[in-house]
Each structure stands twice: as C-alpha cells, then as structure tokens.
Amino acid sequence: MSNFWVVENAGGGWNVKKEHAPDPVSHHDTQADAMKAAHPLIVNSGGGELIVQDRHGKIRKKDTIGKKDPFPPAG
C-alpha cells in the first residue's frame, strides 16, 4: 500500500508525490489532472490513500483506494 499526495508546485501546476519520497512522480497543469494520474498509481501499488492539498497546504480531500480485485465477477 502506498499513499500519494497531490500538492501545488511552487513554479506552477500540481505534482503527484509518493509519501516520504523526495521527488514528484509526475507534474500536471491542473489539480484535477494530477488527481486522475494518481489514481492508477495507487491501485497498481496495492491500494492506499489519495491526499489532496489546496493552494494553502491544507488537506481538502482524502480518498481511500483499494487494490484491484483479483477475481472480478463475470459479465
């Protein structure tokens, strides 16, 4: 499980950062694009938390995302 943060980049745009990692995983023009990019990263890492900060550094949203279902229902 890995947690990913969506944070504002000082130079503009938004970064997706893996928790406790020094460098961003990806950079995006909008916060919405960064949130969309973070979702599959969390799913592929076995699930975790998406934490989204606003422009002032306050947490504005948290979302727990589970891992892929290894046995999805047919049909």
Provide the domain limits for residue 47: 4-65
Q: Does 72 map to a domain?
A: no
Say if residue 39's pLDDT is above 90.
yes
User: Distances from the Cα of 39 to the Cαs of 5, 19, 33, 51, 74, in angstroms?
Assistant: 11, 14, 10, 11, 24
Q: Does 10 map to a domain?
A: yes
Confidence of residue 1 (pLDDT cuts 50, 70, 90): confident
To the nearest whole percent, how much of the chain has pLDDT over 90? 85
Can you give the pLDDT at residue 38? 97
- Prediction pTM value: 0.87
Query: Number of folded domains in the chain?
Result: 1
Quote the mean pLDDT of the chain: 94
Distance CA(62)–CA(42), nearest Å, equals 13
Q: Does 75 map to a domain?
A: no
